[in-house]
Amino acid sequence: MILTLPDLITPEELVLIKQKLAAVPFADGKATAGELLHAKKQNQQIPWDHPVMKDITNLVMQALGRHDAFMSAAQPRRLAAMLVSRYGPGMAYGSHVDSAVMGAPHHVRSDVSFTLFLSEPDTYEGGELAFEVAGSEVSFKLPARSAICYSTGQLHRVRPVESGERLAVVGWVQSLVRDPGMRELLHDLSTARELLVG
Residue 56's domain comprises 2-197
User: Which candidate, 196, 198, 153, places its Cα nearest to that of 178?
Assistant: 153
Give, for 92, the enclosing helix (H) or strand (E). strand 92-96
Asked whether the CA dihedral 85, 133, 97, 152 is positive or negative, the reply is positive
Look up the CATH number of the domain holding residue 173. 2.60.120.620
Please, which residues bridge with residue 151 across strands? 112
Domain count, the chain: 1
- Give pLDDT tens digits for 108-160: 999 999 999 999 999 999 999 999 998 999 999 999 999 999 999 999 999 99
In Å, what is the CA distance from 10 to each residue of 63, 66, 116, 191? 9, 12, 12, 24
Question: What is the reported pTM?
Answer: 0.92
Q: What is the pLDDT along the chain (198 residues), one digit of tens a residue?
A: 899 999 999 999 999 999 999 989 999 998 887 777 778 999 999 988 899 999 999 999 999 999 999 999 999 999 999 999 999 999 999 999 999 898 777 789 999 999 999 999 999 999 999 999 989 999 999 999 999 999 999 999 999 999 999 999 999 999 999 888 888 887 767 777 777 776
Cβ-Cβ contacts under 8 Å for 75 (sequence gap 6 or more): 175, 176, 177, 183, 186
Direct distance between the N- and C-terminal alpha carbons of the chain, in angstroms, rounded to an integer: 24
Q: Is 116 within 8 Å of 8 (Cβ atoms)?
A: yes
Tabulate helix, strand, coil % of the chain (nearest 5).
30, 35, 30
